[in-house]
Amino acid sequence: MKIKWEEKINIIKEKLKEIDKKFSEKEVINNPKLLEELGKEYKELKNILEKYENFKKKKEELEEINKMKESCDKEIYKYLLEEEEKLKKNIKELEKEFLYYFLPQGEDLKRNCIIEIRPAAGGEESCLFAMDLFRMYQKYLDKKGFKYEILSFRPSDLGGAKEIIFLVNGEGAYNYLRFEQGVHRVQRIPVTEASGRIHTSTVTVAVLMEPKEVEINIKEEDLKIEVFRASSKGGQHVNVTDSAVRITHLPTGIVVSCQDERSQYQNRQKALKILKARLLAAEKAKQKEEIDKERKKQIGTGERAEKIRTYNFPQNRVTDHRINLTLYELDKILEGDLDIIINQLQEKEIERILNE
């Protein structure tokens, strides 16, 4: 399906005219918050228009290259092929950005997100792999320029993790990382295995949008807040005060604990942040089920029963089961080169959206 970009760009131009008019309205001028929001939207729309102009320019350059290929020698032809490949890649990236902007959930994709990693089947080996996944995400986030903050961390006995929850800050964080939600399977020889047999373990990853304050309004009477003494952090220290916090949301039964900080207030704030994200995820899931009950197998649903990816260490192999993608580059992926998978997941999603 070919996208009629000119029609969509005209919609943006009309929006810009509307915002221009609002800038001169008294109620906007006297409302700094509204003025800031409109300014941000105006800047974003102008940015889309600039990218569209770049997009048109690239398309024109591609047409020019195709004409030049018709009458040139072999050496120049080879050079033109390389340039053609670069242009096609640039055009595809720009198309992807445009399409996400026009999606109904486009605003959600720009959000920060909270990632929860937990071992599932496999005992201590599963805990160790949970830590490996966390390190992989750390490297990926560093490469993308995103900031992250650990909200909760519970270490295991051998240096793994029983739970890691962290917040990722950066525009588009949720757009990239939402594809990581689901069950991750590892096949390797555990450090605890004396006979050298390959074991299979699993880890679950949940990716939640960080809610805006206006979206999740938690009533104080709906919360049961308990404080308790924090346990040892891998033997480094034991907190001798009741600084750890456990919050139960009574209407839903969701329980969140946080003990990483020495301050009870800080632990409470972190626990509330996680609770809000889980409540938002539950609400989104409910809405999604009501709107589209049949779309159970789409990419990135994050249902925990789904095995989304297998990491096979002996073969240096990674398989993403959602798109039947197999790469023999496990070492690179563990070093944070996740875009080689995520880009293909995005392309498949775009293809599905266009078909619908």
Q: How many domains does the chain have?
A: 3
Q: Domain range for residue 41? A: 5-102
Is 121 found in the same domain as 60?
Answer: no
- Considering only CA atoms, which of 136, 200, 147, 151 is closest in space to residue 342? 136
Is 199 found in the same domain as 327?
Answer: yes
Dist. CA 52–CA 71, nearest whole Å? 30
- 143 lies in a domain? yes
Across the chain, what does the average pLDDT equal?
80
Q: Tokens at residue 329, please? A: 């580059």
Is 268 found in the same domain as 305?
Answer: no
Q: How far apart are the first and last CA of the chain?
A: 10
Domain boundary among 84, 102, 120: 102
Domain boundary among 236, 263, 289: 289
Dist. CA 81–CA 116, nearest whole Å? 44
Q: Kindly report, residue by residue over 171-219, the tens digit of the pLDDT.
A: 888 888 988 988 999 988 887 676 778 888 899 998 888 766 545 667 7
> What pTM was estimated for this model as a whole?
0.61
- 329 lies in a domain? yes
Are 274 and 118 in contact by the 8 Å Cβ rule? The answer is no
- 157 lies in a domain? yes
What is the bridge-based pairing of β-strands 182-188 and 307-312? parallel
3-state secondary structure the chain: CCCCHHHHHHHHHHHHHHHHHHCCCHHHHCCHHHHHHHHHHHHHHHHHHHHHHHHHHHHHHHHHHHHHCCCCCHHHHHHHHHHHHHHHHHHHHHHHHHHHHHCCCHHHHCCCEEEEEEECCCHHHHHHHHHHHHHHHHHHHHHHCCEEEEEEEEECCCCCEEEEEEEEECCCHHHHHHHHCEEEEEEECCCCCCCCCCEEEEEEEEEEECCCCCCCCCCHHHEEEEEECCCCCCCCCCCCCCCEEEEEECCCCEEEEECCCCCHHHHHHHHHHHHHHHHHHHHHHHHHHHHCCCCCCCCCCCCCCCEEEEEECCCCEEEECCCCEEECCHHHHHCCCCHHHHHHHHHHHHHHHHHC
Instruction: Report pLDDT for 291.
Output: 41
Is 244 found in the same domain as 188?
Answer: no
- 294 lies in a domain? no
Q: Tokens at residue 79, please? A: 């050079």
Is 197 found in the same domain as 336?
Answer: yes
Is 273 found in the same domain as 255?
Answer: yes
- 325 lies in a domain? yes
* Residue bearing tokens 């206006």: 214
- 256 lies in a domain? yes
Is 129 found in the same domain as 207?
Answer: yes
Is 315 found in the same domain as 200?
Answer: yes
Instruction: Report pLDDT for 131.
Output: 92
Is 96 found in the same domain as 26?
Answer: yes
Enumerate residue ranges in the chain where pLDDT < 50. 1, 214, 234-238, 291, 293-304
Domain boundary among 41, 75, 102: 102
Is 242 found in the same domain as 201?
Answer: no
Is 118 found in the same domain as 205?
Answer: yes
Instruction: Report pLDDT for 328.
Output: 95
- 296 lies in a domain? no
Is 224 found in the same domain as 186?
Answer: no
CATH of the domain at 316: 3.30.70.1660
By CB neighbour count within 10 A (0-12 exposed, 13-18 middle, 19+ buried), where does 177 fall? buried
